Homo-oligomer: A and B are copies of this chain.
Amino acid sequence: MCPPLWIAAWVLLLHGCAAGRVPQAPSTRNDIRDCSVDPPYLPPTATNTTARLAALRGTMRTHGALAYIVPSTDAHMSEYISERDARLGWLTGFTGSAGTAVVTQDKAALWTDSRYWTQAERELDCNWELQRTTSIESIGMWILKAVPAGGNVSLDPFLFSIDTWNSYSRVLHGSGRTLIPLETNLVDQAWGDQRPLPSSTEIYSLPAEFTGSSWQEKVAGIRQRMEQHARRPTAVLLSGLEETAWLFNLRGDDIPYNPVFYSYTLLTNTIISLFVEGSRLSVAARESLRSGCPGPLCVELQEYGQVSAHLRRYTQGNVTVWLGTEYTTYGLYGIIPQEKLLEENYSPVMMAKAVKNAREQEMLRAAHVRDAVAVIQYLLWLEKTVPQGQVDEFLGAQHINALRWAQDHSRGPSFQTISASGLNAALAHYSPSNGSSRTLSAGEMYLFDTGGQYLDGTTDITRTVHWGEPTPLQKEAYTRVLMGNIDLSRLVFPSHTAGRTVESFARRALWDVGLNYGHGTGHGIGNFLSVHEWPVGFQSNNVPLEAGMFTSIEPGYYRDGEFGIRIEDVVLVVEAQTEHQSGETPFLTFEMVSLVPYDRNLIDLRLLSPEQIRYLNSYYERIRAHVGPELRRQRLEEEYEWLQKSTQPFPVNGAGTAAAGTLVLASLLSVLLGGLGA
């Protein structure tokens, strides 16, 4: 799946996943809405927010806030959020995944990035200005105009990252406006009893067969990291939902697509405090957590809402709290006295989770084999049914989801299925909806970016196909995207190389002819956790690559209003066998974990180098070796035949770079043969 837009604006500009260039300055394009006429013209998709705004403004007056900032995140900096946390959506009507609203007594504005401009125009009513940028500087300038000097600007500090808080603070610094963190969330007050209730479904233990190690081993490992750290932290604070889920081998379903549950953890050198709605724990989960009580491996269950108070008490002592700033809100961070803080970008749990052990690797590989079966079934089904003109994007999405559900250990899709035909695929994040979905045809390219949750691993794969006659540009672009995928996948590099310093290998074949793509090149992935698992990947805020990490590799090319191409595979970082050795640690390379062939119809073999073709052929051998037996086991004979056909080795001497030298000899040969024949 295309990497998410990350919070920091500079990452957005460099690595935004929106198709094409993300504009740096607000656009001057026309709005779909016409708020200058009376009554205003609004599309039927707009939400009337007058009453909601009035309610919020009432709570703002009570708290003396002249402006109130509402973000799109939750208290755990989650990528996906629950309905209960969709405050921005409720207040504004805008349902895009990223944006910021600011409300004063007489103004309201929403900031969002180019992926969402059209959607925002369709969903906002005339109470809202749409600001086509996401820079905090722009939000700050707007606030400075809207709020007189001496006024207070408020926000809920538990919904802002430390970085974002600092950015607002810097923008307002010295301006006479004061940034006030309000622990009461004013949107929640306005929302009142209409706000969805917290999830009450069961939180369960992963069966032992699906865990890489016991939670006790994981806790011991983290405590060892604490002891080995020069600053000797006495505790680790976990705010990211995946962190607690991973550490205790627990799962839940509070958030769509990610099997996590609302929680915090404070792990000290002697005590383990898990902040969670305890009544939701399954009997087995509770027993597992309490099995070491009393003692250092006893998990003390605390109310989810008590984390701040508990942390405040804990940090009165002679302690040092280690936390990852990327997943901690300013609200919790601010509780800890500066000298008792050990800040790193990512907590030791995030760092430990990033490197999969042998068992976790084996599970992720196994999940990808079964996942490949579902994708191959889908490709064959498309090949047979698309020509009849009865498949649209939505039906396709439903079908692949169903094929995945039929695989062992399936727990549904790992993100909203992207199924995009023709020009729709030019929007990198497009998902079809029932009723407004494009019909697939042999006349255009089709891109699907899909993934599954399985108890043993999370998957994510993108294939782009064409059943008819692709244009020369489509074929060239597809081949160059594939070359990028191959060039990065087969790269050999030193241990601890930062992903951002090698991701251009996935772009070079496109760059060579003036093409590019406007999103990141890959992201980590979990064992039945997030499909975007930080901190692994190729962006600036990712950590260096180490053996045992999984990441996607997903170059693409998008042509506005015409077509979109993306080829995505999950790969595992492994040790490389090199001719020489230098340094103390072996060099690394990638092992392909996704196992689905590419579309032969879209490959222009003449562009590939012999090395690229050899690599492709060895990948295809690998697919046959791993997926073939599984297809047979599942008695999918037609799919097995399809796979054999689709993974025929390519001729290496068809390669373009060999052409020049070969051509000379070939023509000489034909002259000679001609001579012989004559």
- Interface stretch, picked from A28-36, A51-59, A183-191, A660-668, is A660-668
Contact of A501 among B492, B504, B611, B673 (CB under 8 A): B504
Q: Beta-carbon contacts of A461-495 to B below 8 Å, as 1s and 0s? A: 00000000000010000000000000000011110
Q: Which candidate, A350-358, A402-410, A577-585, A642-650, is the interface stretch facing chain B? A: A577-585
Cβ contacts under 8 Å, A610 to chain B: 657-658, 660-661
Complex: chain B residue closest to A473, CB-CB: B580
Cβ-defined contact, A652 with B662, below 8 A: no
**Does A37 sit at the interface, judged by CB under 8 A?**
no
Given the complex, which residues of B lie within 8 Å of A581, measured CB to CB? 514
Residues of B within 8 A of A232 (CB): none
Interface residues on A, range: 35 or more
| Listed residue (A20, A504, A611) with the most chain B CB atoms within 10 angstroms of its CB | A504
Say whether A21 contacts B583, CB under 8 Å.
yes
| Chain B residues closer than 8 Å to A664, beta-carbon distance | 653
A394 at the interface (CB under 8 A from B): no
Q: Is B514 a contact partner of A579 (Cβ separation < 8 A)?
A: yes
With A493-B504, A511-B587 known as contacts, the answer to whether A338 contacts B665 (CB < 8 A) is no
Is A78 an interface residue, CB under 8 A from the partner? no
Q: Which residues of B contact A20 (CB under 8 A)?
A: 582-583
Q: Is residue A173 within 8 Å, beta carbon to beta carbon, of the partner chain? A: yes
1/0 contact string of A58-93 vs chain B (CB within 8 Å): 000000000000000000000000000000000000
Q: Does B669 contact A174, Cβ atoms closer than 8 Å?
A: no
A339 within 8 A of partner (CB):
yes
**Mask for A611-638, Cβ within 8 A of B = 1, else 0?**
1000000000000000000000000000
Task: Tell yes or no: A391 within 8 A of B by CB.
Answer: no
Residue of A137, A513, A661, A669 with most chain B CB atoms under a 10 A cut-off: A661
Docked-complex contact A652 and B660, CB < 8 angstroms: yes
- Across the interface, do B515 and A580 meet the contact criterion of CB distance under 8 Å? yes
Cβ contact of A511, chosen from B492, B609, B665, cutoff 8 A: B492
Complex Cα distance, B581 from A339, in Å, reads 53
Residues of B within 8 A of A293 (CB): none
Identify which of B174, B230, B514, B516 contacts A338 (C-beta below 8 A). Answer: B174
Q: Is the CB of A657 within 8 A of B611?
A: yes
Q: How far is the CA of A503 from the CA of B493 in the complex (A)?
A: 13
CA distance A528 to B339 in the complex (A): 48
CB proximity of A492 to chain B, nearest CB, Å:
5
Tell me whether A502 and B500 are in contact in the complex, defined as CB-CB below 8 angstroms, given that A583-B516, A655-B661 are known contacts.
Answer: no
Q: By the criterion CB–CB under 8 Å, are A514 and B582 in contact? A: yes
Q: Of B504, B516, B583, B662, which one neighbours A665 at CB under 8 angstroms?
A: B662
Min Cβ gap A171→B in Å is: 11
Please tell me if A209 contacts chain B, counting CB pairs below 8 Å: no
Identify the closest chain B residue to A654 (Cβ): B661
- Residue of B137, B503, B578, B584 near A514 (CB, 8 A) is B578
A283 CB-CB contact with B under 8 Å: no
Q: With a CB–CB cut-off of 8 A, which chain B residues contact A513?
A: 578-580
CB neighbours of A516 from chain B (8 A): 494, 582-583
- Sorted nearest first, the 10 A-B pairs with minimum C-beta distance are A514-B578, A174-B339, A653-B661, A658-B661, A513-B579, A665-B665, A514-B580, A661-B662, A658-B658, A492-B511
Interface residues of A (CB under 8 A from B): 20-21, 137, 141, 173-174, 230, 338-339, 473, 491-494, 497, 500-505, 508, 511-516, 576, 578-584, 586-587, 609-611, 652-653, 655, 657-658, 660-662, 664-666, 668-669, 672-673, 676
A-B contact pairs, 24 of them (CB 8 A): A20-B583, A141-B230, A492-B514, A494-B516, A497-B504, A501-B504, A504-B504, A504-B505, A512-B578, A513-B578, A513-B579, A513-B580, A514-B580, A514-B582, A516-B582, A609-B609, A610-B661, A652-B661, A653-B661, A657-B657, A658-B662, A661-B662, A669-B669, A669-B672
